[in-house]
Amino acid sequence: MKSFFFASFLALATGAAAHLETYASCAALEILHSKKLMYPRDTQYNVTNENYFDVASVKRPACIFLPESAKDVSDAIRILRITKTKFALKSGGHMPGEFTNIDGGVLIATERLNTLKWAENDSVLQVGPGIRWGPVFDEAATKGKVVIGGRLKVVGVAGLLVGGGISYVAGEYGFSCDNIKGFEVVLADGTITYASETRNKDLYKALRGGTSNFGIVTRFDMDTYDLPIGYSNIGMVVFNPAPGVDFKPAFMDALADFVVTGSAADVKSGAIITVTRVPSRGMSLGMMSLWRSEPVANATTDTPDVFKKLVTIPGQHSANNLPLNVVANTFGSQESQGDGGIQLHLHNTFRTGSYIADKDLILEIEQIHEEEFATIADVAGLSATITFQPITQNNIRVGASKRGGNVMGLENRLKAGDDRHFMWTEQFAGWALDADTARVDQVQKNIYNRAKAAAQKRGLWDDFIYLNDAATDQAKDVFPAFGEKNHMFLKSTKQKYDPTGVFTNLMPGGFKI
């Protein structure tokens, strides 16, 4: 009976005026899934709609659909395609700006697609796109294992995985997307399919770096590895803790040594090392979360060589032998409201650049970062961070060797006889008032442009744009940087699996091929 009413309603709706398309889609979804469809009057609507990292992502969708299975997603896509209704897709809600929400359209929020299940004799962990990394790491740890996922518990699973993904053990295991055995995907016509090394191989490759251009992933089947415990050091160094005291030179020297030499020499080491500044307080500090995938006899005294320079700088340091889930759940925990949500950080933005790793260049870029943010120290609530992330040759080669490789094409940037590797910067800024957005954005662009010029002068510039840290105005440059062959492959794969452009024309958010 329900299917009869639905078919009759949809037939009428598709003949309605254009401004009724969204209403028709919401009503049709309500007929099929009344308990999964939320309107602005519903409490759950506001809970989901306000659970973003960036206030600019809070829009006013006409309705929010909360699917609980791949079949539910399939129903939604079929309806939206027939009615030609625009929609947005939300996983963790960590990407800033307008990529994961929509005004007036339908928001598909995946928070109830929260599968977390062991398979294949506990070698594969099946993970839904609505989960964040905290619970995933915790579940893997119950069996003494890790997945090659994100580094902060608050970040969502789906966006990180289809955009590449950097982990604490990337130097040893490659990018996160290189460690996915298969994807369950809903295609543009509503078909539910599976992509792996042996099924839909082109789609499988495209999803490893090509993001949401081909379908909606409803389950990730992730490889797991026996890494029950490792050396951890989580620390903070205030650069000027007292008059006449300056720890910044020592911190930057140690940071640069790790990025340029240590990370490549010790593939078991991984880290988040940032420089954070709060201009209104005249405060700058270094923060670090270090992990090496082998424990030591005594974490207090037996620091791995790769981290010694960093942990001997005076500051707050906590050294332990810990499982990776504890590390991920500790560093950056100030962002969290528990595993079910994230704290709204008012306005924020990201920007990224790629360079040949070089110590002098790191020092110059950090100085540029300090100078530029000093010019807008009056911006309310301003904090700014720059991270230098080593992307080693082993990181790239391991990924390229797994199951046909990912689609990012980084292996083609390696040159015979050149043992240097890349470093990617992540420029993050957060602030309070919308009125200051243009000023902050301009400073972010200034830093990028000055850093690019400095790198070009030294012959150290690289034009790759890492999707997961890119600013919205960098989106157009992401896929061309994969190389002409891979870019054309993505276009042909897109045409094969989404010939009518559902995930381009109806889903305006995200990085488009």
User: 3-class SS at 426?
Assistant: strand
| pLDDT score, position 8 | 42
The residues, any chain, with a CB within 8 Å of residue 461's CB and separated by 6 or more, are 355, 356, 452, 455
Is the model's pLDDT at 14 over the cut of 50? no
Is the model's pLDDT at 5 over the cut of 50? no
The residues, any chain, with a CB within 8 Å of residue 79's CB and separated by 6 or more, are 10, 25, 28, 29, 85
- Give the H or E element holding residue 255: helix 248-257
| pLDDT score, position 333 | 53
What is d(CA 42, CA 313) in angstroms, rounded to the nearest whole number?
52
> Which tokens in the block code for residue 443?
């400073």
Percent of the chain with pLDDT strictly greater than 70: 93
β-pairing, 383-391 vs 283-292, is: unpaired
Sheet holding 87-90, edge to edge: 37-38, 63-65, 106-109, 87-90
| pLDDT score, position 341 | 43
At residue 427, φ and ψ (nearest 5 deg) are -95, 115
Tell me the H-state helices in 402-468: 437-458
What is d(CA 337, CA 221) in angstroms, rounded to the nearest whole number?
27
> Which tokens in the block code for residue 444?
């972010």
| pLDDT score, position 6 | 47
Q: Domain segments of the chain: what residues?
A: 2-110, 116-227, 230-482
58 burial via Cβ count (<10 Å: 0-12, 13-18, 19+): middle
Q: Is the pTM of this model over 0.85?
A: yes
The residues, any chain, with a CB within 8 Å of residue 127's CB and separated by 6 or more, are 115, 116, 136, 147, 157, 219, 220, 221, 222
Tell me the H-state helices in 459-483: 475-478
Percent of the chain with pLDDT strictly greater than 90: 88
Compute the chain's Rg from CA coordinates.
Answer: 23
* Cα distances (Å, whole numbers) of residue 449 to 335, 356, 457: 29, 16, 12
Q: Which CATH architecture has domain 116-227?
A: 2-Layer Sandwich (3.30)
List, for residues 231-254, the tens digit of each pLDDT value: 999 999 999 999 999 999 999 999
Q: Which CATH architecture has domain 2-110?
A: 2-Layer Sandwich (3.30)
Among positive and negative, which fits the CA dihedral 330, 391, 307, 460?
negative
Find tokens 């602030």 and name the residue.
431
What is d(CA 27, CA 34) in angstroms, rounded to the nearest whole number?
9
Q: What is the mean pLDDT of the chain?
A: 93
List, for residues 359-418, the tens digit of each pLDDT value: 999 999 999 999 999 999 999 999 999 999 999 999 999 999 999 999 999 999 999 999
List, for residues 164-209, the tens digit of each pLDDT value: 999 999 999 999 999 999 999 999 999 999 999 999 999 999 999 9
List, for residues 199-226, the tens digit of each pLDDT value: 999 999 999 999 999 999 999 999 999 9
What is d(CA 333, CA 327) in angstroms, rounded to the nearest whole number?
10
The residues, any chain, with a CB within 8 Å of residue 231's CB and separated by 6 or more, are 290, 291, 292, 294, 295, 296, 299, 303, 304, 307, 319, 320, 321
| pLDDT score, position 157 | 97
What is d(CA 125, CA 138) in angstroms, rounded to the nearest whole number?
12
| pLDDT score, position 9 | 46
| pLDDT score, position 208 | 98
Is the model's pLDDT at 12 over the cut of 70? no
Name which of 14-18, 327-331, 396-400, 451-455 the model is least confident about.
Answer: 14-18
| pLDDT score, position 407 | 98
Contact of 146 with 170, CB cutoff 8 Å: no
CATH code for the structural domain at 230-482: 3.40.462.20
- Give the H or E element holding residue 497: helix 484-497
